[in-house]
Amino acid sequence: MLIKVPVSWLREYVEIPISIDELALKLHMSSTEVKGVERPWWGEKVRVGRIAKLAKHPNADKLLLATVDYGEGRTKTVVTGATNLVEGAIVPYADEGAEIIDGHTGERTILRGKPMRGIQSEGMVLSSKELGLGEDHEGIRILDRDLPVGAVLREVLGETILALEVQPNRPDCLGVVGIGREVSALLGTRLMEPALDRLPERAPKGLDVRIDDEVACPRFAAALLTGVHIGPSPTWMQERLIAAGMRPIDNVVDITNYVMLELGQPLHAYDHRQLRDGVLVARAARRGETIRTLDGIDRVLPERTLVIADGQRALGIAGILGGEDSEIRADTTTVALECASFEPRRIGRTTADLNLHGSSGSAAARRFAWELSPEAVPLALARACRLLREHAGAQLEGVVDRYPQPRPRVNVRMHFSDMPRVLGIEVAPEETLDILRRLQFTVAADGDTLIATPPAVRTDIAIAEDIVEEVGRIAGYDRLPTRVPDGPLPLAERHPFEDFRERARDALVGFGLQEIVAYSLIDPAWLGMLKADDGDCIAPEPLRVINPTTVAQSAARSTLRASLLDTARRNLRQRTSLAIFEIAPVYIPRRGDLPDERTTIAILLAGDASPVKEGETWLVGNRKWDVRDIHGIVQGLADLLRVATRGEEAPAPGMHPGRSLALTDGGITHLIWGQLDPRVAGMWELPDETFIAEIDLVSWHRAAQTVKIAPPPRYPAARRDLAVVVSETTRYADVEAAIRSAAGRELESLGLLDVYRGAQIGEGRKSFAVRLVLRSPTTTLADADVDRVVRRIAGRLQHEVSATIR
């Protein structure tokens, strides 16, 4: 939680003998992240000055000549009309060139030396208005006489504000006093806690409190104050509230806020007139109970909500939001002041239920969501009572404090040797004890044993490691050496699938494809744009994000295709050639389990095939990608990964029906390749001729074969070319299968040379020119052997695909 700590306020509780920049660095390194140091805008030329001498202006009755000492023996003479100056007064001094506020226009301006009635004024002593600290422009602002002469004014006056990001384990740092405690430990200076009124033992007449749910509300105290005069709070208090980011309202509300900012503990003030039966009850909301909260909204309270009620109705949502009925009004004279402790997770859940989460929640609710110490309750109440007495005329009638099960104090029993065990460096026992005492821990040592009791406000300390951290951070982590772990190296496991995937990635890059990494969450509407008809989606119904940041990222993609097409669409607006791929998991829902995250490859080719720079056709012609290219990439990848792509051919949804192929094996489609359905391509503003492939890499990994390494063949190969004439409807795959089955083991390879159609072979027929490479591992094949194989092939082709061999 970001809090703003005005340095002047912090100085009230702890001495800071170092510069604010040094302090900020120490806090940042050892205590609380410093998000920024917000300073007054005065530059280095506005300093603390001392009036060394006052003299009359020789030419003007109403003007004075003031000699200002601003450190290191430097003096300047300025002309002023102010009447409140005396010799020795400490004042803000602006040298020529300083930025100040023009007392007349109210605008910022650069101070220029100028003659006044014949005497050069070499600078200026400043009013509050000229510093931007108030409206007072009558006299010079007289500063605290202890301020060091010559100091840059912004270092010692005005609200230099530390913006601190307090971590949720440190609710004790949500108040200025808590930060003071840290500073005191870091600098070794004394912590001066704020003045409290001693709370009376007696219970007030006309006010009682009751806890119905001790888990949700472990401690509940209230004070009854009479004779309250509602009015504005003192200026200094208002200034501090503003500096810390809160708006002043009236003295009672301001004091509750002030104490919250000071001690971290929120309070809530009720107009006692509105309390029925003179009682405050912490209880669960009743079914259907409603309340109008301070923000003017009528809310139906969820049943488990903890409310603060009087004898009859809910007054507010405990720790989160007060009710309108019982708020402090201008004519309030008797105040019931609540100071309580709530179970943080209940607060967290309720703010979530009421949608008051995050920075929109009230300052009190955000603090109560952390584990504040119940021990802070009487402190905050006593502090508020004192301030109400001082600034609202309040008379304390009595206090009631219910704390049915006081928390036992934490005592951490540990060893001094835990420091080197965890930190890796020795910290002397004396230093350990000193650091802990500076942090207000109570410590006792006996030999190596150490018993440490944290101050009551610290709720984050439970185990030895917590104490080690306290000592380590204050001692400073820069003392740790940089060591590399020794000891036996763990035996690393093998990751064959990941290795396989990375080989695929390298292969595709080697083929000249650019890898993309797209968002894994997509617009669910995209899934509807992957098919031309209204049939089922090409991919399973995806997991949905319940609270998406945008609808464009609200479904966990169950296919990579949509991301691929989207990427292609955007790229093809400014280029004519595209060859891309992505390797990423798709998320396939499983009942009662996390989804199956299946690593998938998606490839897309569109536009010019030439491997050229955009627009260049030099030496390569201007060829477009075609279906054989995508087939080639798939086949090349399969060959490189040694995957035998087998399976049943099935229609590929979303693809061109005549120019695509899906292979399924065991019910899983492990490969799709071909041309995208042009109607789908159109929906994505892609060219009709867009080619994609999708590979289920998990299946491919299973189908990958281990290689058996053999020496190169010893006997020569025989080559024979055949022209196989078949009907136009016969597929090459059937021809190939027939040849392979007939040729037997001696067929080393089979290549397609050409497909010929023409008058020579007749209408409705085509001729596959194929080349057979035959080789025997044991002998040189004679022509007669080859002829025998070819005859066998010819017979088989004739029989199975009615082919004639030419």
Partner 1 sequence: MAGQDLKALADRAATEIAAAADEAALEASRVRYLGRKEGALSEATKKLASLPPPERPAYGAAVNDAKIRIEKALEAREAALRDAALARELGQEREDLSLPPRRVRLGRLHPISQTMREVSRIFATLGFETVEGPEIEWDYYNFEALNIPPGHPAREKWQTLWISNPLGDDPSRPILGRTHTSPMQVRIMEERRPPIRVVIPGRCYRYEATDAIRESIFFQYEGLAIDEKLTMADLKGTLYAFARQVFGSDRKIRFRVDYFPFTEPSAEIAFDCFACEGKDPNCHVCGGDGWIEAAGCGMVHPDVLRRVGYDPTRYQGFAFGGGIERIAMLKTGAPDIRLFYQNDIRYLEQF
- Of residues 365 through 384, those in contact with partner 1 by CB under 8 A are 369-371
Please select the residue that binds partner 1; options are 192, 423, 529, 717, rule is CB under 8 A.
423
Between the alpha carbon of residue 319 and those of residues 208, 288, 562, 694, the distances in Å are 18, 20, 48, 55
DSSP readout, 234-258? PHHHHHHHHHTT-----HHHHHHHH
Question: Which helix (H) or strand (E) element contains residue 717?
Answer: none
AA identity, residue 592: G
- 469 binds partner 1, rule: CB under 8 A: yes
- 472 binds partner 1, rule: CB under 8 A: yes
650, 662 contact by CB (below 8 A): yes
Nearer to partner 1, 269 or 461 (CB): 461
304-322 in b/e burial notation, b at 16+ Cβ within 10 A?
Answer: ebbbbbbeebbbbbbbbbb
Nearer to partner 1, 341 or 730 (CB): 341
189, 15 contact by CB (below 8 A): yes
Nearer to partner 1, 14 or 555 (CB): 555
In the complex, least distance from residue 368 CB atom to partner 1, rounded to whole angstroms: 10
Nearest-angstrom CA–CA distance, 174 and 187: 20
* 273 burial level (CB within 10 Å; 0-12, 13-18, 19+): middle
- Of residues 475 through 494, those in contact with partner 1 by CB under 8 A are 477-478, 480-485, 487-490, 492-493
- 113 binds partner 1, rule: CB under 8 A: no
Nearest-angstrom CA–CA distance, 264 and 728: 87
Between the alpha carbon of residue 489 and those of residues 422, 485, 494, 689, the distances in Å are 20, 9, 15, 54
Nearer to partner 1, 166 or 793 (CB): 166
> Which stretch, 4-12, 258-266, 451-459, 514-522, contacts partner 1 (CB under 8 A)?
514-522
> Which stretch, 152-160, 331-339, 575-583, 637-645, contacts partner 1 (CB under 8 A)?
575-583
Q: Which residues lie below 8 Å from residue 346, measured CB to CB, with a gap of 6+? A: 216, 304, 306
- 426 binds partner 1, rule: CB under 8 A: no
- 784 binds partner 1, rule: CB under 8 A: no
- Of residues 325 through 344, those in contact with partner 1 by CB under 8 A are 344
In the complex, least distance from residue 541 CB atom to partner 1, rounded to whole angstroms: 4
Nearer to partner 1, 570 or 646 (CB): 570
Helix, strand or coil, per DSSP, at residue 127: coil
Please select the residue that binds partner 1; options are 112, 276, 409, 575, rule is CB under 8 A.
575
Q: Which residues lie below 8 Å from residue 621, measured CB to CB, with a gap of 6+? A: 610
- 515 binds partner 1, rule: CB under 8 A: yes
Nearer to partner 1, 150 or 589 (CB): 589
Query: What Rg value do the Cα atoms of the chain yield, rounded?
Result: 42
In the complex, least distance from residue 146 CB atom to partner 1, rounded to whole angstroms: 32
Nearer to partner 1, 20 or 252 (CB): 20
Nearest-angstrom CA–CA distance, 21 and 155: 9
Helix, strand or coil, per DSSP, at residue 310: coil
Q: Of how many residues is the chain composed?
A: 806
Nearer to partner 1, 204 or 218 (CB): 218
Question: Which helix (H) or strand (E) element contains residue 587?
Answer: strand 577-590
Q: Which residues lie below 8 Å from residue 512, measured CB to CB, with a gap of 6+? A: 579, 611
Please select the residue that binds partner 1; options are 203, 518, 717, 801, rule is CB under 8 A.
518
- 465 binds partner 1, rule: CB under 8 A: yes
Please select the residue that binds partner 1; options are 355, 574, 706, 729, rule is CB under 8 A.
574
In the complex, least distance from residue 598 CB atom to partner 1, rounded to whole angstroms: 12
> Which stretch, 27-35, 116-124, 196-204, 635-643, contacts partner 1 (CB under 8 A)?
27-35
Please select the residue that binds partner 1; options are 241, 578, 638, 698, rule is CB under 8 A.
578
- Of residues 537 through 556, those in contact with partner 1 by CB under 8 A are 540-549, 553, 556
Question: Which helix (H) or strand (E) element contains residue 792?
Answer: helix 783-801
In the complex, least distance from residue 345 CB atom to partner 1, rounded to whole angstroms: 3
- 505 binds partner 1, rule: CB under 8 A: yes
> Which stretch, 265-273, 418-426, 438-446, 678-686, contacts partner 1 (CB under 8 A)?
418-426
- 498 binds partner 1, rule: CB under 8 A: yes
Nearest-angstrom CA–CA distance, 392 and 408: 36
In the complex, least distance from residue 306 CB atom to partner 1, rounded to whole angstroms: 13
| Per-position x/- string for 153-182, each x denoting binding to partner 1 as judged by CB under 8 A, each - no binding | --------------xxxx------------
Please select the residue that binds partner 1; options are 205, 229, 570, 623, rule is CB under 8 A.
570
Nearest-angstrom CA–CA distance, 350 and 356: 8
637, 694 contact by CB (below 8 A): no
Nearest-angstrom CA–CA distance, 342 and 371: 8
Q: How far is CA 338 from the centre of its chain?
A: 35
- Of residues 592 through 611, those in contact with partner 1 by CB under 8 A are 592, 594-595, 597, 611
Q: How far is CA 1 from the centre of its chain?
A: 13
In the complex, least distance from residue 525 CB atom to partner 1, rounded to whole angstroms: 16
- 195 binds partner 1, rule: CB under 8 A: no
Give how many residues touch partner 1 by CB under 8 A. 99
In the complex, least distance from residue 698 CB atom to partner 1, rounded to whole angstroms: 13
- Find, among 551, 507, 539, 513, the residue nearest to 643 by Cα: 507
* 783 burial level (CB within 10 Å; 0-12, 13-18, 19+): exposed
375, 408 contact by CB (below 8 A): no
- Of residues 607 through 636, those in contact with partner 1 by CB under 8 A are 611-613, 616, 618-620
